[in-house]
Amino acid sequence: MLLLYVPRGTFIEKIMQKTIKITLKGKVQGVFFRQFVKDSTDRLEIAGTVENLADGSVEVFATGEEGDLDKLVGYLEAGPPPAEVESVEREDLGEVEEFDGFQVLR
């Protein structure tokens, strides 16, 4: 077995990344859901954005390694205690979006 150390932010790491869009529906606004997303992405070192949409849903764009993105989706499916997540839509985007950290939008 060959193990390689790849420092975060290197070219090799960047080509292993992907960007996904996650749309969450249910009781996901007014329950500190965006902060929950931010805390989760900070732990996983995922970049992107989260924002409330006018239809009551929450939209997340996230760039990271696939395993970390899978963990994020699992966290978001459960949500923070006051939230009630009814559905989670995950869309793999073709291009990797570069974000400056993780931002909470409106």
Annotated active-site positions, please?
A: 34, 52
What value does the CA radius of gyration of the chain take, rounded to a whole number of Å? 14
Nearest alpha-carbon partner for 106 in 52, 39, 47: 52
Cβ proximity of 24 and 58 under 8 Å: yes
Residue 30 CA: distances (Å) to CA of 24, 25, 39, 76, 103:
13, 13, 16, 15, 18
Helix axes 66-78, 33-44, angle to 10 degrees: 150
